């Protein structure tokens, strides 16, 4: 018995099952979803190994060969994704920045100088409403009672400082 004895009697349908299983695993890498193609690929590889190998040793050799093939293909694809043609299709080239009108969820500077009303007492922190938007705010240090008109005077990250109008 030699290492690749399973190759002597391999049939075309067994080769097709193994190749389709590998292709489905590779497709799983690039398609978002529930893992249907990856799961089906694994099932086909297991079926292909069961149909082809006649001993557990042959099955182990086939698993190692398939892992090496999958690893080489994955390395080639990842290298191409980083530096080759795939990088243009897999990697987002656009950027979203302020000058184009995009605002991040943490960027609250557009509320600067807006006027609103406190919904809770500020001791010195509380909640206020500005143009229908409820925000957590902080007073300059003074107590501000509920239903008082306030103006945003400073925005630093998520910290919004208000002053009584």
Predicted confidence (pLDDT) per residue in 17-28, tens digit: 989 998 898 888
**Banded pLDDT at 8 (limits 50, 70, 90):** confident
Cα 130 to Cα 54: distance, rounded to the nearest angstrom = 74
Q: What is the pLDDT of residue 105?
A: 61
Cα 70 to Cα 51: distance, rounded to the nearest angstrom = 20
Share of the chain above pLDDT 70, in %: 85
Cα 28 to Cα 127: distance, rounded to the nearest angstrom = 47
Predicted TM-score of the model (pTM): 0.48
Q: What is the pLDDT of residue 61?
A: 86
Give the right CATH number for 104-164 from 2.40.40.20, 2.40.50.140, 3.40.50.620, 3.20.20.70: 2.40.50.140
Cα 60 to Cα 15: distance, rounded to the nearest angstrom = 17
**DSSP label at residue 125:** E
Minimum mean pLDDT range among 41-55, 67-81, 85-99: 85-99
Q: What is the pLDDT of residue 121?
A: 95
Q: Mean per-residue pLDDT for 53-64?
A: 86
Domain ranges of the chain: 5-90, 104-164
Are 160 and 108 contacting, i.e. CB atoms less than 8 angstroms apart?
A: yes
Cα 103 to Cα 47: distance, rounded to the nearest angstrom = 51
Minimum mean pLDDT range among 45-59, 73-87, 121-135: 73-87
Greater model confidence, 34 or 16: 16
How far lies 109's CA from each of 101, 145, 154, 157, 162, in Å?
13, 24, 8, 8, 13
Cα 54 to Cα 9: distance, rounded to the nearest angstrom = 10
Q: What is the pLDDT of residue 90?
A: 63
């Amino acid at each position: 018995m030699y290492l690749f004895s399973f190759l002597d009697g391999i049939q075309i349908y067994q080769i097709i099952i193994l190749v389709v299983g590998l292709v489905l695993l590779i497709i799983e890498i690039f398609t978002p979803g529930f893992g249907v193609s990856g799961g089906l690929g694994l099932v086909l590889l297991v079926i292909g190994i069961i149909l082809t190998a006649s001993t557990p040793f042959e099955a182990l050799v086939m698993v190692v060969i398939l892992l090496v093939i999958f690893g080489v293909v994955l390395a080639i694809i990842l290298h191409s994704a980083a530096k080759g043609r795939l990088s243009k299709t897999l990697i987002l080239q656009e950027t979203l920045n302020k000058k184009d009108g995009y605002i991040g969820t943490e960027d609250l500077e557009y509320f600067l100088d807006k006027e609103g009303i406190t919904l809770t007492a500020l001791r010195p922190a509380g909640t206020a409403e500005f143009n229908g938007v409820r925000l957590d705010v902080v007073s300059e240090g003074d107590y501000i009672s509920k239903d008082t008109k306030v103006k945003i005077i400073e925005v630093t990250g998520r910290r919004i400082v208000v002053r009584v109008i």
